[in-house]
Amino acid sequence: MVLGCQNISKSYGTKEILNAVNFHIEAKEKIAIVGINGAGKSTLLKIITGEEEPDNGTINLAKDVSIGYLAQHQEQYYKQTIYEELLSAKKDVIKLEATLRQLEKDIETLKDEELESALNLYSRLNHTFEMQDGYAFESQILGVLKGLGFDESDLNRPISELSGGQKTRISLGRLLLSRPDIILLDEPTNHLDLASTAWLENYLKNYDGAVIIVSHDRYFLDKIVTKVFEIENTHGTVYHGNYSYYSKRREEIRLSQYKAYMNQQAYIKHQEDVITKLKQFNREKSIKRAESREKMLDKIEQIEKPQEVRDDMKLTLIPDIESGNDVLTVEDLSKSFTDIPLFAHVNMDIKRGERVALIGSNGTGKTTILKIINQLIPKDNGKVTLGSQVHIGYYDQEHQILHPDKTIFDELHDAYPDMTNTKVRNTLAAFLFTGDDVFKQINELSGGERGRVSLAKLMLTGANFLILDEPTNHLDITSKEILENALSGYTGTVLYVSHDRYFINKTATRILELSSDGITSYLGNYDDYVYEKEKLAANSTTVNEPKKQEESDNKRDWKLAKEEQAKERKRQNDIQKIEAKIEELETNIEEINDEMNKPDNATNSAKLNELATRHEELSSDLEKLYEEWEKLSEE
């Protein structure tokens, strides 16, 4: 064990955040800390690093263990260049290298015992230098720099010129290069594009130390962690597995707890009805029996009603009318800012019922495309055509469509003046705004609260074409799941930009990748997209000539769909054949069992041996069929 948290408790005033929280982490273990916004995840990280003191409990660190911490909000660096900042993570190695160079000079002039002593010291220090990758630290700096989305040409840029997100990436790079025994990361992917996030996943997965991550990026957690620590209602629970296992297991436990609660409530209600009935008989014996039952009920340890997280926020998206089949057509779209091209020759077709994710590196123009479609900014060239009866509902990641000086209540009421005050309040209550909260001004709200107001307005639009720009930003995991379920059941059309791969995986039916070459279409969700990219990359290494791009995106999608349909038909046929064989073998085995139980065969050892051998063969064949059936069923 390299780190242990023992009975950690923390309160701010009268508000309890953590109550007797316990967990530990082993060397090289990767663990996620999850929970809703405000659950105490960041507080726990700060207690581990010593930035905050717990009210009770202890943090136990193994001897000589170093900790590196990336907070959500970084200190601002202004004086150094990017290279100088990253190089500072290697100051111990650089100092050691300088010592070695000096020793090399000294050795040339030393003799006898002094020379032998210097050579021994040089040997020890050089071994340490090699163990710390001293000969590779410059290439490591370049590798981390490129992995986090910078170019080699950025090395001498002053950090003061960088955006907040870029500064956070530099802080992350410095932390990774320092290689502590335990890395603590608080929302590390917030300012990373898909390529940088994938690079960080691979880096952390193979990191030769322990990692503790707080993140809303569920796909990221799935790829890295082997243990999940959930903070809920001030208490902590450990789940051994990745995020998907935790999510499934948590629901199973909640369902089990809810069933136990409902069964107990039914039992209590039944006993109370019996007690009432016995008392109504108004006889001495019946009253005594009623009192006996009351005493029994008093001794029952009542199960608390489990928190029904999925019922906290209610999001229902229903189109008022159905659009035509052709929802959006974009032809040869281009846009530049101050004569610098952002994108060119962008083409896309979106049909009714599709849920399309627009992805690409930061700065390629994804948000700009959404704003052009919504006529918020002008295009330079090209054509944007909306289909028949298309009604757009727009969700802006910056929530600029909200009015900062209005209250939450007025934001909805002014947008929908026909709604009664009661209906406005009921709608806001569905998005967790109750009581005097509805009179908070928009400019006083957190990012997550603004996101909920925007979702409430979106729900009321009745739109049949939703255009969403980073809809999961600032939402906690539970709210993301609610949005995923709402979109999956939505009968309209959706086009969205998102860096949330888990969200894309759950909701997308097609992915459009924006690059300098235009748009490439991939049928399916994010896993399908990754599979296709890997397949194309593998093909490009074995084929010298580049594949001709003669087929249109739509034709390519149609072919892919047909291939997938053919694979699925074959899988279903194989399953049916195996099920028929299983039924046949089970019947044969049952017949052998009947034969072995017949009195005539009970004393016939030769017959019994023959039947037993056949039984064993069929059982072995049956086991193989079961395994094959399970494998096909899981695909």
- How high is the pLDDT of residue 632? 67
What is the average pLDDT score of the chain?
84
Dist. CA 366–CA 361, nearest whole Å: 9
pLDDT tens for 153-198 read 888 888 887 777 788 888 888 889 888 899 999 888 877 878 888 8
pLDDT tens for 103-147 read 888 888 878 788 888 888 888 888 888 877 777 778 888 888 888
pLDDT tens for 466-513 read 999 988 877 777 778 888 888 988 999 999 999 888 999 999 999 999
Dist. CA 544–CA 280, nearest whole Å: 92
Nearest to 131 by CA among 203, 208, 28: 208
pTM, two decimals, is 0.63
Amino acid letter, residue 47: I
Q: Is 440 exposed, middle or buried (0-12, 13-18, 19+ CB in 10 A)?
A: middle
Nearest to 254 by CA among 317, 309, 311: 309
234-239-240 Cα angle (round to 5): 150
- CB count within 10 Å of CB 67 equals 17
Contact 412, 427 (CB under 8 A): yes
Residue 527 has pLDDT above 70, yes or no: yes
List CB contacts of 521: < 8 A, sequence separation 6 or more: 348, 510, 511, 512, 513, 553, 554, 556, 557
pLDDT tens for 58-67 read 999 898 889 9
pLDDT tens for 552-590 read 555 565 566 666 766 777 777 787 888 788 778 878 888
pLDDT tens for 247-262 read 889 888 888 888 888 8
- How high is the pLDDT of residue 309? 47
- How high is the pLDDT of residue 634? 52
Residue 545 has pLDDT above 70, yes or no: no
Report residue 389 as tokens: 């009866």
pLDDT tens for 439-474 read 999 888 877 788 888 888 888 888 999 999 988 877
Give the lowest-confidence range in 437-446, 527-536, 541-550. Answer: 541-550
- How high is the pLDDT of residue 310? 44
Query: 3-state DSSP call for residue 136?
Result: helix
Residue 358 has pLDDT above 70, yes or no: yes
Q: What is the SS3 string spanning 380-434?
A: CEEEEEECCCCCEEEECCCCCCCCCCCEHHHHHHHHCCCCCHHHHHHHHHHCCCC
Q: Which strands form 340-351's sheet, in the order they lie side by side? A: 340-351, 326-337, 381-386
**Location of structure tokens 């806001």:** 428
- How high is the pLDDT of residue 547? 44
Residue 391 has pLDDT above 80, yes or no: yes
Average pLDDT for residues 290-309, to the nearest whole number?
Answer: 81
DSSP secondary structure code for residue 81 in this structure: B
Average pLDDT for residues 609-620, to the nearest whole number?
Answer: 84
Residue 72 has pLDDT above 70, yes or no: no
- How high is the pLDDT of residue 95? 85
Dist. CA 624–CA 84, nearest whole Å: 61
- How high is the pLDDT of residue 526? 92
- How high is the pLDDT of residue 544? 46
- How high is the pLDDT of residue 407? 93
Residue 36 has pLDDT above 70, yes or no: yes
Report residue 152 as tokens: 């080699």
Report residue 539 as tokens: 């093909």
DSSP string, 338-363: TTEEEEEEEEEEEETT-EEEEE--TT
Query: 3-state DSSP call for residue 130?
Result: helix
- How high is the pLDDT of residue 548? 44
Sign of CA dihedral 294, 298, 300, 302: positive
